[in-house]
Structure 1
Amino acid sequence: MSSEPISLSKALASFDALWSPRIVTRVNDYDVRVAKVEGEHVWHVHDDTDEFFLVLDGELHILLREPAGERTVVLPRGAVFTVPRGTEHKPYAPSGAAILMFEPTGTPTVGDRHGEIPDHVDSTTGHALDV
């Protein structure tokens, strides 16, 4: 990790792949990841950790399957939301978005339980940032 400040706009400009997060820094045992997203991700669950989202640009929707039923959370630019551990969810961005996520190092982007992974979704624990 860098000992210098990191520009999130430069970090995002350094790659084009969608649903393929880059690790910009670490805080204790947590990765701070940025990603470009568009279209749908995959329904998935993180059994042992919450998942934090901050929308840097665009708008992110997160479908949630909760005991009371399904609902959609809409996050405009600047909004944050935490998906509680054990909650099945599916992020999607109809018009594209840039997001920042905060989760334990080694957490897979497709969770611990998921459906079929489409070709446009990168199943990873985050990629190193090349800036």
Structure 2
Amino acid sequence: MTAPTRKTAPVNIADKLAQFSDLWSQRTIAALNDYEVKVAKVHGEFVWHEHEDTDELFLVVSGRLTIQLRDGDVVLGPGEIYVVPKGVEHCPKADEETAILLLEPKGTLNTGSAGGPLTLAAVPLD
């Protein structure tokens, strides 16, 4: 029986972020069990939404990200993470271009239950 093929090269987050310029468009850079590791560039305000079935991890790579919550904002700088619990309504916002990394189950929509014109599936990056 043959072992599954496995990528052995490390993933460089900065290199992956340099491959695109679209804002609010998630790119999948790795997979972990049933989870996707995604990066995105963000600027401005997103949309209020929630993920009914999953938590969502945000890690700021560069810039500053405000995660607006109904009971108070969380502000993140480079190297800081915050986990939005499942079912909690939130709205990411960045006053400057900010690079983020997200960890969430495969197939999680970026707009959660809100839907709308900003809903995009994550695009895989090689």
Taking structure 2 as the reference length, what is the TM-score of the superposition? Answer: 0.90
* Residue 107 of structure 1 pairs with residue 108 of structure 2: yes
Match of 2:17 in 1: 12
Structure 1 residue 59: Cα displacement: 0.2
In the aligned structure 2, how far is the partner of 1:127 from the partner of 1:58? 22
Please, which runs of 5 or more residues in structure 2 have no aligned partner? 1-5
Please, which runs of 5 or more residues in structure 1 have no aligned partner? none
In the aligned structure 2, how far is the partner of 1:2 from the partner of 1:37? 28
For residue 120 of structure 2, give the secondary structure of its aligned residue in structure 1.
coil
Residue 25 (structure 1) aligned to one of 9, 20, 30: 30
In the aligned structure 1, how far is the partner of 2:100 from the partner of 2:48? 18
Match of 1:80 in 2: 81
Q: Is the 8 A contact 1:105 1:125 kept in 2?
A: no
In the aligned structure 2, how far is the partner of 1:115 from the partner of 1:5? 34
In the aligned structure 2, how far is the partner of 1:7 from the partner of 1:36? 15
Higher strand proportion: 1
Question: 4+ residue stretches of structure 1 with deviation over 2 A?
Answer: none
In the aligned structure 2, how far is the partner of 1:23 from the partner of 1:109? 12
In the aligned structure 1, how far is the partner of 2:110 from the partner of 2:116? 13
Any residues of structure 2 matched to 1:39-118 within 5 Å, and which?
A: 39-65=44-70, 70-111=71-112, 113-114=113-114, 116-117=116-117
Match of 2:123 in 1: 127
Amino acid at match of 2:125: L
Q: Whose radius of gyration is greater, 1 or 2? A: 2
Structure 1 residue 125: Cα displacement: 3.0
- Give me the CA root mean square deviation: 1.4
Structure 1 residue 30: Cα displacement: 0.1
